[in-house]
Amino acid sequence: MRRESWDLSGILHVNVVQWGSMRPATMCGSVWEPRMNLKKVLTYLAIAFVIFYLFTQPANAAGAVRNLFGGISTGAERLSAFFTSLFSG
């Protein structure tokens, strides 16, 4: 790994690391990453899929959202019943 460092009259100090390395280059305390974070890429892909699904099949998307909230509601009701029976004796 080749590392170079420049000092520009005490104003700006930059450390540069080659793009092929695993470590990001730094500039004034901030981090530049030569590759995108996997979590960020997967998040963008998931959002793109949801938007695509919403526009291509709106009725099915509405059904999926309805089922999601129905599942959350059912889970909350069952959790409530568990704690009610737990504390009532």
Kindly state the DSSP code that residue 24 receives in the 8-state scheme. P
Same domain? 54 vs 72: yes
> What is the arithmetic mean of pLDDT over 23-45?
69
pLDDT band at 76 (very low <50, low <70, confident <90, very high): very high
The residue behind tokens 């540069």 is 16
Distance between CA atoms of residues 7 and 16, nearest Å: 12
How many structural domains does the chain have?
Answer: 2
Which residues, listed in sequence order, are joined to residue 50 by a DSSP beta bridge?
Answer: none
* Domain that includes residue 21, residue range: 3-35
Whole-structure pTM value: 0.47
pLDDT band at 6 (very low <50, low <70, confident <90, very high): low
Same domain? 53 vs 76: yes
